[in-house]
């Protein structure tokens, strides 16, 4: 049966398990959506901004492991994809972007909407090709898929409007796409050297990243053998249940006291599947063993003593029988004691009956955590809301938490919620957003209404770009409301106008009933939570430069709060 170029694209994508394409159509993409109209397996998800499409496609991959696909038409439509695609690249998601292009007859003439997309997308893509002839079909599509999955990374196929509807003659040459996966185990000598270093340590600590996904049991076995606390990066937060005694918290600026000290006080560090970027939070002068499947990550952030190329799970299985460490458990106990104190402090901050005239964002985050399903998916925006999520959402090991954790883009949480919910219509999806972040993607709340996806959006409404305000204050800039204050619409009314459920929360006692109503509702929902804008973020370690930036009164506030935590 003769197919056109777009039908051939769909045939290859179906073979890779793709079930939906997120995008905004127009011009060169019209033949593609026309082909999808008649396709029973692939669905077109019409969004209201192409950036949403790219964020959603990345989340779809992160949750399902299946290629995410997004589409934007000629020129501006394609350009709108870019930030979301960078997010995919930096979060390690396999995403294919299909973009339009002007017809060949106009190429190079500065035609209406013409943009040199090959050049624009060069940096973000691992594969970036245009379909110039039907003779390239379907091999070019197959390569775009194969390259995306192999990275994982971002690829782009450009579809000029004259080529898109043409009939393909050699479609029978189509071949499968393969999901390349093999478990890589470092060589025995490498493993033995790693064991030797770790066995010497009295106070070893493990730093775990998202590369530990699927290696929970092995991670625990090695932690137990070494008597080592496990600190995690934000991207690895959902690998293990929060209350596991070895799982002591996050390090970094938004980390915890126990997480910070576990790394700072150790005499050997075992880094597992993490590219945690903040060099100042790595220990100095102690041996570091690093395991990563990306060889380029070895030694990238810290002075690594021994780097092993491998997947975390089989590497730990091979390492375990060689471990007979010297640690007597005192380091682990000391960190566990710190963690207990920290958790108690956090519990107090997040208590729903906290005696505060303001609604505390911590209390909102903790209440969301308590109310969530065991297999809930949290999507997290960037800003102070990231901190509330990191510290007060106590993941159970069966839940997922995704966000723009490496790219750090505002506005990612709502689109990621759409991508996650579209992949799992029955799983509870909760987006935790700042009012600034939500404002950047709120036009696509109506997409959840349209497709009957019961996403739950919690807006931590503090009327300001809180994190930046804090950042400016911490670095000694004068407050400048013009830049950081926000004038917001009524988000709950906005939800209703879109056809969703909207609830406003101003008082602590309103939080639980609001969550009950939202999570039980089959409609997408926005909880507009008016939280205290003056809640203090407390880094576990306050660098002197930051401390000097604070006014004396702020410094006192922090000191009162952190007590013995200053270096
Ligand atoms: C697209 C984008 N623009 C700007 C920034 C810089 N930035 C980081 S956090 C932040 C403020 C976030 O404010 P809000 O969403 O209200 O959350 P809050 O910090 O108040 O919880 C900004 C502007 C960014 N990370 N991404």
Mean pLDDT of 523-548: 74
47 as an active site residue: the answer is no
For the residues 302-330, what does the mean pLDDT come to? Answer: 95
Sign (positive/negative) of CA torsion 197, 203, 207, 213? positive
Residue 240 · residue 217 · CB < 8 Å: no
Which 3-state string (H, E, C) describes 500-534? CEEEEECCHHHHHHHHHHHHHCCCCEEEEEECCCC
Give residue-wise pLDDT tens across range 232-259: 999 999 999 999 999 999 988 788 889 9
144 vs 251, higher pLDDT: 144
Residue 557 has pLDDT above 70, yes or no: no
Ligand 1 site-directed mutation target among 362, 365, 410, most atoms within 8 Å of CB:
410
- Residue-level pLDDT at 543: 53
Q: Label residue 103 exposed, middle or buried (CB < 10 Å: 0-12, 13-18, 19+).
A: middle
Question: From the CA of 410, how far away is ligand 1's center (Å)?
Answer: 5
pLDDT surpassing 50 at residue 551 = no
The Å distance, Cα 436 to ligand 1 centre, comes to: 6
Residue 558 has pLDDT above 50, yes or no: no
DSSP 315: H
Say how many Å lie between the CA of residue 33 and the centre of ligand 1. 35
Q: How far is the CA of 459 from the centre of ligand 1 (A)?
A: 13
CA of 464 to the centre of ligand 1 (A): 9
Distance from C-alpha of 426 to C-alpha of 420, rounded to nearest angstrom: 10
Pocket test for ligand 1, best of 54, 253, 383 (most atoms within 8 A of CB): 383
In sequence order, the 6+-apart residues with CB closer than 8 A to the CB of 173 are 138, 139
Residue among 62, 101, 113, 428 flagged as catalytic = 113
User: Which structure tokens are listed for 43?
Assistant: 């669905």
Looking at residue 326, its pLDDT comes to: 85
- Looking at the CA of residue 383, tell me the nearest atom of ligand 1: 19
Using 50, 70 and 90 to split pLDDT, how confident is the model at 549? Answer: very low
C-alpha count within 13 angstroms, C-beta hemisphere, residue 8: 31
Mutate to test the pocket of ligand 1, among 465, 529, 533 (most ligand atoms within 8 A of CB): 465
pLDDT-based confidence at 554, cuts 50/70/90?
A: very low
**Active site (annotated) includes residue 112:** yes
Tell me which residue of 223, 224, 248, 253 sits closest to 236, measured CA to CA: 248
In angstroms, the CA 564 to CA 337 distance is: 14
Instruction: Reply yes or no on whether 113 is catalytic.
Output: yes
Q: Out of 43-57, 264-278, 355-369, 484-498, pick the least confident.
A: 355-369
Cα of 313 from ligand 1 centre, angstroms: 35
Q: Residues 457, 518: contact at Cβ < 8 Å? A: no
- Beta pairing class for 167-168 and 3-4: antiparallel
Q: How far apart are CA 60 and CA 41, in angstroms?
A: 16
Average pLDDT over residues 89-95: 97
Atom of ligand 1 nearest to the CA of 439: 15
Q: Is the pLDDT of residue 431 over 90?
A: yes
Whole-number average pLDDT of the chain: 92
pLDDT band at 472 (very low <50, low <70, confident <90, very high): confident
Alpha helices in 159-264 (DSSP H): 188-200, 216-226, 257-264
Report the pLDDT value the prediction gives residue 55, as an integer from 0 to 100: 98
HSE, CB side, 13 Å, CA atoms: give it for residue 420.
28
Question: Structure tokens of 567?
Answer: 């270096």
Summarised one tens digit per residue, pLDDT across range 366-394 is: 999 999 999 999 999 999 999 999 999 99
Contact 183, 313 (CB under 8 A): yes
Radius of gyration of the chain (CA): 25
Q: Distance (Å, rounded) from C-alpha 118 to C-alpha 132?
A: 13
Contact 397, 384 (CB under 8 A): no
Listed range (333-342, 430-439, 445-454, 528-537) with the worst mean pLDDT = 528-537
Identify the residues whose C-beta falls under 6 Å from ligand 1. 381-385, 408-410, 434-437, 460, 462, 464-468
> Among 361, 468, 470, which residue has the most ligand 1 atoms within 8 Å of its CB, making it the best to mutate?
468
**Residue among 234, 302, 313 nearest 268 (CA):** 302
Q: 176: pLDDT confidence band, cut at 50, 70 and 90?
A: confident
Q: Which atom of ligand 1 is nearest to the CA of 465?
A: 13
| Active-site annotation holds for 382 | yes
Residues 6+ apart with CB under 8 A from 503: 492, 514, 517, 518, 525, 526, 527, 528
C-alpha to C-alpha distance for 412 and 392, rounded to whole angstroms: 20
- With a cut of 70, say whether residue 283 has pLDDT above it: yes
Give per-residue pLDDT as tens, 182-216: 899 999 999 999 999 999 999 999 999 999 999 99
Q: What SS3 class is residue 106?
A: helix
The whole-number average pLDDT for the span 43-53 is 98
User: Is the pLDDT reported for residue 561 higher than 50?
Assistant: no
Atom 8, ligand 1: residue with shortest CA distance? 383
Residue 382 CA: which ligand 1 atom is closest? Answer: 9
User: Which pLDDT score, from 0 to 100, does residue 178 have?
Assistant: 78
pLDDT of residue 81: 98
Choose among 140, 194, 418, 407: nearest CA to 316.
194
Of all atoms in ligand 1, which is nearest to the CA of residue 462? 20
Residue having the nearest C-alpha atom to atom 25 of ligand 1 = 409
As a dihedral over the C-alpha atoms of residue 409, residue 411, residue 412, residue 416, rounded to 10 degrees, the angle is 180
């Amino acid at each position: 049966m003769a197919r056109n170029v777009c039908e051939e694209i769909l045939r290859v994508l179906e073979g890779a398990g793709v079930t939906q394409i997120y995008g905004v159509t127009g011009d060169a993409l019209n033949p593609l959506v026309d082909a999808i109209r008649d396709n029973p397996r692939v669905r077109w998800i019409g969004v209201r901004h192409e950036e949403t499409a790219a964020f959603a496609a990345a989340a779809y991959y992160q949750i399902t492991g299946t290629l995410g696909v997004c589409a934007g038409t000629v020129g501006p439509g394609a350009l709108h994809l870019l930030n979301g695609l960078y997010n995919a690249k930096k979060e390690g998601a396999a995403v294919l972007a299909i973009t339009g292009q002007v017809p060949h007859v106009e190429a190079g003439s500065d035609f209406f909407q013409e943009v040199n997309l090959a050049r624009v997308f060069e940096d973000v893509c691992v594969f970036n090709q245009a379909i110039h002839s039907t003779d390239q079909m379907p091999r070019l599509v197959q390569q775009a898929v194969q390259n995306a999955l192999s990275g994982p990374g971002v690829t782009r196929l450009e579809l000029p409007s004259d080529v898109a509807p043409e009939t393909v003659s050699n479609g029978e040459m189509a071949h499968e796409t393969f999901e390349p996966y093999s478990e890589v185990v470092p060589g025995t000598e490498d493993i033995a050297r790693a064991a030797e270093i770790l066995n010497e340590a009295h106070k070893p600590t493990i730093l775990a990243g998202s590369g530990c996904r699927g290696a929970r049991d092995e991670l625990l076995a090695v932690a137990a053998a070494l008597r080592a606390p496990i600190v995690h990066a934000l991207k690895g937060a959902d690998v293990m249940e929060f209350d596991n005694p070895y799982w002591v918290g996050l390090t970094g600026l938004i980390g915890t006291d126990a997480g910070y000290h576990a790394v700072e006080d150790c005499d050997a560090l075992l880094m597992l599947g993490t590219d945690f970027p903040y060099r100042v939070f790595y220990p100095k002068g102690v041996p570091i063993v690093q395991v990563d499947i990306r060889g380029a990550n070895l030694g990238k952030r810290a002075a690594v003593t021994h780097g092993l190329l491998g997947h975390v799970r089989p590497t730990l299985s091979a390492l375990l029988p060689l471990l007979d460490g010297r640690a007597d458990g005192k380091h682990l106990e000391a960190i566990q004691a710190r963690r207990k104190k920290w958790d108690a402090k956090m519990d107090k901050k997040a208590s729903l009956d906290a005696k505060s005239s303001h609604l505390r964002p911590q209390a909102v985050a903790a209440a969301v955590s308590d109310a969530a399903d065991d297999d809930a998916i949290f999507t997290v925006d960037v800003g102070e809301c990231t901190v509330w999520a990191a510290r007060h959402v106590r993941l159970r090991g069966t839940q997922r938490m995704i966000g723009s954790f490496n790219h750090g883009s505002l506005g990612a949480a709502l689109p990621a919620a759409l991508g996650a919910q579209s992949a799992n219509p029955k799983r509870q999806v909760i987006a935790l957003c700042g009012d600034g972040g939500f404002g950047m993607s709120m036009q696509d709340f109506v997409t959840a209404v349209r497709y009957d996806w019961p996403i739950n959006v919690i807006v931590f409404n503090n009327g300001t770009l809180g994190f930046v305000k804090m950042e400016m204050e911490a670095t000694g800039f004068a407050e400048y409301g013009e830049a950081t204050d926000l004038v917001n619409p009524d988000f709950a009314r906005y939800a209703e106008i879109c056809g969703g459920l909207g609830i406003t929360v101003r008082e602590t006692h309103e939080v639980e009933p609001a969550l009950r109503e939202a999570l039980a509702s089959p409609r997408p929902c926005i909880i507009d939570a008016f939280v205290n804008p003056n809640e203090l973020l407390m880094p576990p370690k306050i660098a002197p430069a930051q401390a000097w930036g604070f006014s004396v009164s702020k410094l006192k506030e922090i000191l009162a709060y952190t007590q013995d935590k200053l270096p």
